[in-house]
Chains A and B, each alone.
Chain A
Amino acid sequence: MLKYLIKRVLWMIPMLIGISLISFFIMHLAPGDITSNEAAFNPKASEESRQKLREMYNLDKPVIVQYSLWLKRMVTLDFGKSFASHQKPVFWQTTDKDGNVTKGLIQEALPITLMINLLGLGITLILAIPLGIIAARKYLGWQDRSITLFNFIGFSIPGFWLSLLLMYWLGVVNNWFPISGLHSLNYESLDTWSKLKDSLSHLFLPVIIPSITGLAGITLFVKNGMLDVLQQDYITTARAKGLNEHKVVYTHALRNALLPLITIIGLSIPGLIGGSVIAETIFAIPGMGKLFYDAVLMRDFPVVMGILTIGSALTLVGNLLADVAYAWADPRVRRGVARG
């Protein structure tokens, strides 16, 4: 097992280098660089100054040279500095000689996105698992049909439209929830309890809406897994033994039915750090999605590469964790790994 793990982890290094190489070249295939943004299209701004900026950021060098410069920095885990926001560090904070701390872009955006996505995933699971079980147990009954209907409505409604509608109804018509942003303007002067309340009320809509629209997939997974398992012979055996239905469903069937969820959760780990551009734009949340999107539009290469690298590393780690968790949960897989 340990040997298997070490092998998998070592394999990640060439994988990551390959991914970063491809990302780097694709990024440079898009025309333009940091000097071709809309603000630079100003008759007062001279081409010489743009050329100077290109030289300052090594953008005048061949792509392969730029890539090797980037890789050289990455070996020391230096993600570099953003072009577009006056060389803010891409990943983690730096302190200058006067003690001024400049926070990193990812450092600021990641906790926000992570919190929203974790809360969202939690809510989705809390809702989806019971709904899936009910739908499977009452298969083709009215409960199943209404859950399916509800899920598909949630799945089909465009998230941004539902967001704007709820923002209008809950924020403008009724002053129940804040409309956008992460904190109230007087957040600093609140006590701890009010701060928590303030944060939660700001997070309510951005967390709830993706949870509802994302419910359909997971509910369907749980339902199908459950249906599969409930038809197995050992369930018939359990019922024949005279176990009560509760025990049959929750002790014997559920654990097996949830196995596919491990894969899904494993695969959603990289998704946890990538925010949704649309949701973050509508709710004015300075998260990872907006950071990445703006960086692409501005051709802010260090930021694009920083996020892609962290994202791909997390995808690989997520896959590994899912496999390990599988082995832990499923003896059949465990035996297969030990043999191989």
Chain B
Amino acid sequence: MTSHTLHFIKNAIVVAIGIWLSACGESPNSHAPATVDNNINYPIESGGALINAMTGEPSGLISMIAGESASAAISSNIFNSLLKYDKNLELEGDLVASWQISADQKTITFKLKPNLKWADNQPLTSADVLFTWQAVIDEKTASPYASDFQLVKKAETPDPLTFSVTYDQAYAPALDSWAGLQILPKHLLLGQDLHTSAFVRKPVGSHYYKLDNWAHGENLKLSRNANSVLGQAKIDKLITRIIPDNSAQFLELMADNIDLMGLDPIKYSRIIPARPELQQKLALYKELGNSYTYMGFNLKHKPFDDVRVRHAINYAIDKQEIIDGVYLGLGINIASPYKPGTRWSNPALTPYPYDPAKAKALLKQAGFVDTDGDGIVERDGKPFAFEIVTNQNKEREKSAVLIQRRLKDVGIDVKIRAIEWASFISRFIKTGDFDVVVLGWGLGLDPDQFNIWHSSQQAPGQFNFIGYNNPTVDKLLEQGRLELNPDKRMKIYHEFARVLLEDSPIVYLSAGYGLTAINKRVKGIDNPAPPAGIGHNSHEWYIPTPLRRNEISAH
């Protein structure tokens, strides 16, 4: 080959790379006219379409039997409950105008707002509420959420606007349970099997939106419900596309084909800030979720029954390292099983600091000493070694690896096993055949955690699978269920969290932030997020006409 041809080839490659680079550098195509500025103030107006994406498809839209988050995300736009949480997480009326608790705290009387209607123009009355209660406790429904409602001894509808329930004894989580139960229309469901009814895929509700079309595996299209019991939402159409892959979702967000998606920490704190064209059109939101990740000990296994060992491990783990390394700093260290900043979280509690020296001392007290000089401590000749089991969740696996290293520093030999969810639950959790798990709890807004911590909840399949048994905690949990006065109740749960922290049956690893990116065409979003999250006023979000997509408004 002559040097002339070589030179030619080199030039051609340089030119090709140049073209390719410039093509990549172009700002991604936007469907909205390029001259429009996202940041000026636009007047509030209704109309337009918001396109959202979800990784999973709902199995159905009756939430009392569906259970998965995809289902709740859609059905909560279609159905109302009796009560709901306001932006500060205080209960307020949804379908009801008011509610009253009797002097003995056993009866709750709900007064519905007048003239409520279903989307199909039928009146919504207390008969629908009664029907929904009967459905949720029906054996045939097999609702996973039946237990709260089975405690209702008597439910009555003295008139079309009044619904009252009486419990055997005062039940504090009752109000929260009624905020979670979506009311179904009796006139469409009477005599039907909820599992096989076509209503599961063609729901009729009372909320801001109604379902127009569900293209299976592709999208769900909702439009405004003219009969909405809470007035009209601003945005006309809510379209949810089903895009299982997160990367594909992000590409769609970059290409302006969707308006909103949940982010992982890398996208939130690395990718988007590094790209000015994305920063320009996307607004980022972070809100603390009602969930946390923890490392739980099997308290029935030795040596985890020894509180000194649990304390030692708690001191040996650097939680900030996990938050920084796994969540890129987008999480916080917690000391109680409640969302920080809410009423139920005890502000006086502080997490266990990272203190390996103290950990070693505690291990020594418990009888663990490295006698053979291999770096691993022993007791009665047996080295301290255990296995952390977790499900295949990248963040949990990475957390386990960091824990493994820190525990090695204090002389504990840890192995990690990550397995698929259903096998994990059936093979390890249900059988109690594990030493230590790394898992997470996603919690409701009511502080009652009886099912997780009460010593009576240890049978296979129940949720106190770590085998926690503390009479003080048992008593506090029982008291908390009976106390309807929020201030008195708060004191009970503050005390509960204090005992729990001291006892250390689990090591709180972190509470991660929920991260969302929303196209700046969507206005009216509270930033920073209030305690209830940005979604609390989604009916007030609006998209000014100049910022709307052409293709959607065209038809």
The interface stretch among A166-174, A238-246, A257-265, A316-324 is A166-174
8 Å CB interface, B180-200 against A:
180, 195-198, 200
Least CB distance, A84 to chain B, in whole angstroms: 6
Interface size on B, residues (CB 8 A): 74
Q: Please report the C-alpha to C-alpha distance between residue A86 and residue B71 in the assembled complex, in whole angstroms.
A: 12
Q: Is there contact, CB below 8 Å, between B67 and A164?
A: no
A10 to B430, CA, bound (A): 45
* A181 and B251 in contact, given A44-B444, A84-B59 (Cβ under 8 angstroms): no
A108, B201: Cα distance in complex, Å: 15
Least CB separation from A86: chain B residue? B60
A180→B426 contact, CB < 8 A: no
Which residues of chain B are within 8 angstroms of A280 by Cβ–Cβ distance? 244
Within 8 A of B (CB), among A1-52: 30-33, 36-52
Within 8 Å of chain A (Cβ to Cβ): is B420? yes
Q: Is A251's CB within 8 Å of the partner chain B?
A: no
Whole-angstrom CA separation of A87 from B59 in the bound complex: 10
Q: Would you call A49 and B142 a contact (CB within 8 A)? A: yes
List residues of chain B with CB within 8 A of the CB of A299: 422
B102 adjacent to chain A (CB < 8 Å): no
B76 is an interface residue with CB less than 8 A from chain A = no
Cα-based distance from A42 to B196 in the complex (angstroms): 24
Assess the B60–A85 pair: CB atoms within 8 A. yes
Residue of A nearest to B72 (CB): A39
Tell me, in angstroms, the Cα distance from A225 to B254 when the chains sit together: 47
A39 CB to closest chain B CB, in angstroms? 4
Q: A85-B59, A282-B247 are in contact. Are A175 and B29 (CB under 8 A)?
A: yes
Q: Which residue of B lies closest to A54 (CB)?
A: B142
Answer yes or no: A214 CB below 8 A from chain B CBs: no
Q: Which residue of B lies closest to A50 (CB)?
A: B461
The stretch from B91-99, B211-219, B370-378, B495-503 touching chain A is B211-219
- Structural contact, B69 and A39, CB atoms closer than 8 A: yes
Across the interface, B248 reaches (CB within 8 A) one of A33, A44, A282, A298, namely A282
Q: CA of A189 to CA of B463 in the docked complex: distance in angstroms?
A: 50
B255 touches A185 (CB 8 A): no
Closest to B213 in A: A188
Question: Which residues of chain B are within 8 angstroms of A52 by Cβ–Cβ distance?
Answer: 139, 142
- Interface-facing stretch out of A98-106, A114-122, A327-335: A98-106
Q: Quick check: is A292 within 8 A (CB to CB) of the other chain? A: no
Cβ contact within 8 Å between A32 and B423: yes
Check if A123 is an interface residue, CB within 8 A of chain B. no
CA distance A100 to B147 in the complex (A): 32
B103 within 8 Å of A (CB atoms) = no
Which of B122-130, B262-270, B530-538, B547-555 lines the interface with chain A? B547-555
> Which chain A residue lies CB-closest to B254?
A172
Residues of A near B59 (CB, < 8 A) are 84-86
The contact of A46 among B146, B197, B242, by CB within 8 Å, is: B146
Residue A281 at the chain B interface, CB threshold 8 Å: yes
- Chain A min CB distance to B450 (Å): 8
CB distance from B23 to the nearest CB of A (A): 6
Q: Give chain A nearest CB distance to B166 CB in angstroms.
A: 22
Shortest CB-to-CB span from B35 to chain A, Å, is 18
**Complex Cα spacing A178 to B449, Å:** 47
| Contact among B180, B248, B442 with A284 in the assembled complex (CB-CB below 8 Å) | B248
Answer whether A173 and B24 are a contact pair too, CB < 8 Å, given A43-B451, A44-B148, A185-B219.
yes
- B555 contact set on A, CB distance < 8 A: 186, 189
State the B residues within 8 Å of A (CB).
23-24, 26, 28-29, 51, 57, 59-60, 65-69, 139, 142-148, 180, 195-198, 200-202, 213, 215-219, 221, 239, 241-245, 247-248, 251-252, 254-255, 257, 420-423, 425-427, 430, 441-444, 449, 451-452, 459-463, 551-552, 554-555
